[in-house]
Structure 1
Amino acid sequence: MTYDAVWPLCIILLIMVILLSLPIAVFRNIQVIQKTQNNRLYTIDGLRGYLAYFIVFLHATVWYNLISIHQFKGSEQTNVELLGTTGLCIFFMISAFLFWTRWLNHQGKIKVIPFYIKRFFRIAPIYYLCILCLFIAVMGKTNWHLEVSIGSFIKQIVAWFSFGLFSFPTINGYPYTSLLVMGVVWTIPYEWMLYLALPIIGVFSKNIWVSLCFAITLCVITILSQFYWKIHLIADNDMMPFASYAIGILIATLKHMKWQPPFRDFYGSLVMAGCIALLLAFCHKYPEPLMLLLGGVFFYCVVSGGSLFGLFKLPASQRMGRVSYSIYLCQGLVLYFFSDTLVFVKQLILRSIWHYWSVFLGECIVLLFVACCLYIFIEKPCMDLGREIANKYTKNQRNKYAITK
C-alpha cells in the first residue's frame, strides 16, 4: 500500500457516509433535499461531497511530499490525481449547468443585482473566514513582524479580499502563503468570471436553438484553445475551467430540450461506472481531452437521474454535498494544522504508511465536522440573509416602478 493508493480512500469515504448517517445533531441539522424540491436535482448534491473529498485526497499527497521529501508536488500520473482533477472539472460543469439552467428557465430575463447579492452571500462568508485564518497563520509564521512596507501589505490584503480577481500575492513576504490553503482559492476568480459573464452571454439563452449553437461553439473554441491552439489567458491549462463551463452549458441546454438518455437509473449508473473505469484506464495526466469527455458523459448521466447505484441518493451523500464548499475551502487549513502545527502528528505521518492513513482519516473526520459546523452557523444563515436582502431589493424596485407608472 502506498500513500496515494485508491482503496484506502474508498474506505475513508465509506466511513464519512457512515458518520453522516448517525443520529448526531451536527449532521441531522443539515437539510436533505427531496427529489422534487424546488426543481433541484438532488443527485447533484449527492455528487458534490465526493468530488470535494477527491480533491482533498489529491492535496493530501502534496502535503505528504512536502513533509517527506520537501518538495511541493502531488502524486503524478496516479488514480488519485485523475479523480481529483476530473472532479474539479465536474465542479465547474455543475456551476455552469445550474446557472445556465436558471437563465434558460427565465429566457435570459434574470435580475442581475439580486443574483450578485445572493452569490456574494453564498461565496464570501466562508471565503473571508478562511482568508482571516490564513492571515493569522502567515503572521504567526513571520513572528508577527511586518516584513514589507505598509502600502505593500495593504495591497496584498486587498488582493485577497477581492477574491483574487487579479492575483493571490504572497502576504508579508511569506513565500508559502497559498500553500496554507492548498492553493484552492485559485478557482474562486473563475467562479466570479462566470458570474460576471452570465448577464452578457445570457442573451443566447433566450432561444433554445441559439443556446445549443452557442454551447457547441463555446465547447469547440475552448477545447481547441486548450489542447491545440495553446492559448492561455492567466496561467497554464487555464482554459480547462472555461471548457468545463462550456460543457456544463451544453448539458443544461440538452436537458432543457429534454434530450436525455432513455435508460433507467441502473443503466445510467453502469455508464457512469464505465466512465470512471475508462478514466482510470486510459487517462494519464491532467489535462486531457478524454478527461473532459468522460467527465461530461458522467455528469450528463447524473443530471439525467443517474445515482451511481443509489449512492448519490443517500441522505448522507446529500449532507456531504451540502457542506462541500466548506470542505473544499477549509481543507488546506486543516491539513496545515495537523501536519505543520502539531509536530507529533508530523512525526507520526512519517513513521509508516499505516500511520499516514490513520492520521489522514482523522484529518478527514475533523474536516467533515468543521465543514458541517460552518454550514450550520455561517453558510446557511448567510445564504438566507442574502436571499432576504435580494428579495427586499426586488420588492423595492417593483414598488418604485409601480409608483413611477
Structure 2
Amino acid sequence: MLKSYQMFVWILGLLLLCWAVFGSRLFAFMDNLDSRRVERLDGLRFLLAFCVVMHHYVYSYYYLHGQPWTPAVFVHNLLNLRMGVFGVTLFFMLSGYLFAQTSPVSWPHFYLKRFLRIAPIFYLSSCCCVLLALYLQRHSLVSRNMLLNLYYWFDAGITGVKPPLFGMQDARLINAGVTWTLFWEWAFYFSLPLLCFVRQKTGLLPLAMSVIFIAVYCGAPFNQQKAYFIACFAVGALARIVPETIQLPKKLCDSAIVLLLVLIFCITTGRYHIHFLPLFALLFILIALGGDIFGLLRLKAFVRLGDASYSIYLLHGIGWFCLNKVIAVHNLVLNRTQYTLVSTAVIFVLLVICTLTYQYIEKPFMALGRRKSPWLKE
C-alpha cells in the first residue's frame, strides 16, 4: 500500500488519466445535451464519487489482509481517510441543494421517479453481493433467515439494514457498505412533503436556518453524526438561495475553494464532526455561487463521469473486494508497484463498466420515471 505522499501523486495521475481517456470521442455517447444541467455540479459528482472510491480502496486492502474495517487502518493514509467524509458530506449537501425548491404536482409520481432512479443500480449491486456471498459460502452455506436477510438486501436502501448472507457475517462489506447513505437520502425524501408545507409558510431561508440551528445546537449534543447529516441537507438548501442575494467574482470563488480544500484535507479528522461543518458549508456555497475550481469541475471527462457517479458509488466496492479476494485466495505476492498497477487497471475497467450501466440501466429507468404514469393521478 502506498504511503500518503505516494498516494497523492497516484490519485493525481488517475485523475489525469480519467481526463485523457473519458474526455475522448470514445465516450461521446455519455454527452448530455440538456440545457438545464449545471455542468460544474456534474463534475463535482464525479470527484465526490472518486473520493469515496479511494477511501474504500484503503479499507478494502487492509480488511482483506487481516485488519479490521476501522479508521485505524488509515494511519499512513490520512488523505484517503478524509476523502470519505468529504465525499459523503458534499453528496448530502448536493441532495439538499437539488430538492430544496421541489414542489411536485404529484407526490406519488415524485416517489416513483426516486425509486426508479435509485433501485435499478441498487439491485444490480445487491445481486453481485448475493452471488459473491453464495459462491464464497458454498461449502458452509447457512440457510437460516435466508429470505428475511435477502429482503433487506433488496429494499432499495430504505431500511439501511444489511444482514449476513448465507452465513457470511461481513457480506455488507462486499460493496464497501456504501448503501447506508441511501437510508439518509430516503429519510430526506420522505420528509419533503412536511418541509415543503413549512417552506410555503415561512420561506426557504428561515426553514434552512432553523434546521441547521436545531441540528447543531439541539441534536449534536445527543448524537453528533445524525445531527451532522441533517445539517448537511439544510446547508444544501441554504446554498440554493444564497446566489439570489449574493454574487461574487468567479476567480474569488475559485481561489477561496482551493484554500478551503487545503484546510479541509489538512485539519479535519476524517470524522463526521459538527465543528468542521462551516468549512464544508462555505465550500459548497462557493460552488453554488459559480465556482468550478478554475474550470476543473467543467472538464468534459468529469462531467461525463458525473452522470455515472451513482453507478461508481454503488459498484466500486465490489471491484476492490474482488481484486483483494483474488489476491488472497490465490496467495499472490505483489510488490507495491505491481499492486498499484493492477489497482489502476481495475479502477479504469470499473469506470468503463459504470458508463455502460448508466447508459443502459440508469438512463432508461430515469426516462421511464419521467413519463406520465396512467395509473397515477397528476
Alpha-carbon distance, 1:223 to partner:
2.2
Equivalent in 3, 19, 29 of residue 17 of structure 1: 19
Q: How many pairs does the alignment contain?
A: 372
Letter aligned with residue 209 of structure 2: I
Equivalent in 135, 148, 151 of residue 155 of structure 1: 148
Cα distance in 2 for partners of 1:285, 1:193 equals: 24
Alpha-carbon distance, 1:146 to partner:
4.2
The range that moved more, 158-167 or 46-55, is: 158-167
Q: 2:40 is matched with which residue?
A: 43
Equivalent in 183, 192, 200 of residue 198 of structure 1: 192
The range that moved more, 366-375 or 244-253, is: 244-253
Alignment of 1:208-227 (within 5 A): 210-225=203-218, 227=220
Alpha-carbon distance, 1:309 to partner:
0.5
Cα distance in 1 for partners of 2:283, 2:158 equals: 30
Equivalent in 302, 305, 326 of residue 290 of structure 2: 305
- Cα distance change on mapping 1:160 and 1:82 into 2, 3 Å: same
Q: 2:10 is matched with which residue?
A: 8
Alpha-carbon distance, 1:387 to partner:
1.1
2:337 is the counterpart of 1:335: no
Give deviations 1:28-76, integer Å, cap 9, x for gaps.
1112356xx12x3221111110110111101000112123343323415
Cα distance in 2 for partners of 1:393, 1:301 equals: 42
- Cα distance change on mapping 1:347 and 1:221 into 2, 3 Å: farther
Q: Confirm or deny: 8 A CA contact 1:93 1:245 kept in the other structure.
A: yes
Superposition RMSD in Å? 2.2
- What TM-score, normalized by structure 1, do the two folds share? 0.86
Letter aligned with residue 229 of structure 2: P
Alpha-carbon distance, 1:118 to partner:
0.9
Q: 1:95 is matched with which residue?
A: 95
Q: 1:321 is matched with which residue?
A: 306
Give deviations 1:192-251, integer Å, cap 9, x for gaps.
1111110111113325x5321111111122123564x1237xxxx233321211111221
Letter aligned with residue 66 of structure 1: Y
Alpha-carbon distance, 1:354 to partner:
2.0
Alpha-carbon distance, 1:3 to partner:
4.2
Q: 1:259 is matched with which residue?
A: 245
Report sequence identity in percent. 25
Alpha-carbon distance, 1:164 to partner:
4.1
Q: 2:367 is matched with which residue?
A: 384
Q: 1:401 is matched with which residue?
A: none
Q: 1:248 is matched with which residue?
A: 236
Q: 1:230 is matched with which residue?
A: 222
Letter aligned with residue 121 of structure 1: L
Q: Confirm or deny: 8 A CA contact 2:118 2:156 kept in the other structure.
A: no
Q: Confirm or deny: 8 A CA contact 2:54 2:83 kept in the other structure.
A: no
Equivalent in 168, 177, 182 of residue 183 of structure 1: 177
The range that moved more, 5-14 or 122-131, is: 5-14
Q: Confirm or deny: 8 A CA contact 1:45 1:318 kept in the other structure.
A: yes
Alignment of 1:339-358 (within 5 A): 339-341=324-326, 347-348=332-333, 351-358=334-341
Alpha-carbon distance, 1:344 to partner:
8.2
Alpha-carbon distance, 1:386 to partner:
1.4
Cα distance in 2 for partners of 1:393, 1:290 equals: 49
List gaps (5 residues or longer) in structure 2: none
2:357 is the counterpart of 1:374: yes
Cα distance in 2 for partners of 1:144, 1:393 equals: 48
* Partner SS state of residue 29, structure 1: helix
* Partner SS state of residue 179, structure 2: helix
Runs of 4+ in 1 over 6 A off after TM superposition: none
- What TM-score, normalized by structure 2, do the two folds share? 0.91
- Cα distance change on mapping 1:259 and 1:143 into 2, 3 Å: same
Q: 2:132 is matched with which residue?
A: 137
Cα distance in 2 for partners of 1:52, 1:224 equals: 30
Q: Confirm or deny: 8 A CA contact 1:17 1:317 kept in the other structure.
A: yes
Alpha-carbon distance, 1:22 to partner:
1.6
* Partner SS state of residue 392, structure 1: coil
- Cα distance change on mapping 1:8 and 1:109 into 2, 3 Å: closer
2:363 is the counterpart of 1:397: no
Cα distance in 2 for partners of 1:14, 1:290 equals: 33
Q: 1:360 is matched with which residue?
A: 343
Alignment of 1:67-86 (within 5 A): 67-74=64-71, 75-76=74-75, 78-86=78-86
Q: Confirm or deny: 8 A CA contact 2:51 2:86 kept in the other structure.
A: no
List gaps (5 residues or longer) in structure 1: 399-405
Q: Confirm or deny: 8 A CA contact 2:64 2:328 kept in the other structure.
A: no
- Cα distance change on mapping 1:96 and 1:380 into 2, 3 Å: same
Letter aligned with residue 155 of structure 2: S
